[in-house]
Amino acid sequence: MKTESLRDNMTNLELVLNMLAEATTTEISKERRPRTFAANRIVAAQGGRIAGNTRREIEAQTGKKIVSRLNAEQALAAKEIEPNEEEKE
């Protein structure tokens, strides 16, 4: 069994939200310039909170969970099997 990167097993939205958390944390850090581990931890929590709020808002609008136990390959395979909304009507 070959080892894979965690990101190789994320869906597109999981990747985007992860990037949002990282970019937001970087921008907050540039502005606040935290000097201690504790201050950096607070900044990281703020970036994560923003991405978490975004995730919850997307889930509320779509009615679907973003984070999945499936890896990206399994999620894509499941999506191909699942009929889309237009086909249901």
Q: Could you state, in order of their start, the residue ranges of all structural domains in the chain?
A: 6-88
H helical segments located in 1-89: 12-32, 37-62, 72-81, 85-88
9-46 confidence digits (pLDDT tens): 778 899 999 999 999 999 999 999 999 999 999 999 99
pTM given for the model: 0.69
What type of residue is 25?
T
pLDDT of 86 above 60: no
Task: Tell me what percent of the residues of the chain surpass a pLDDT of 90.
Answer: 58
What is the C-alpha to C-alpha distance for residues 46 and 24, in angstroms, rounded to an integer?
A: 8
Question: At a CB cut-off of 8 Å and minimum separation 6, what does 34 contact?
Answer: 40, 42, 43
What is the C-alpha to C-alpha distance for residues 72 and 79, in angstroms, rounded to an integer?
A: 10
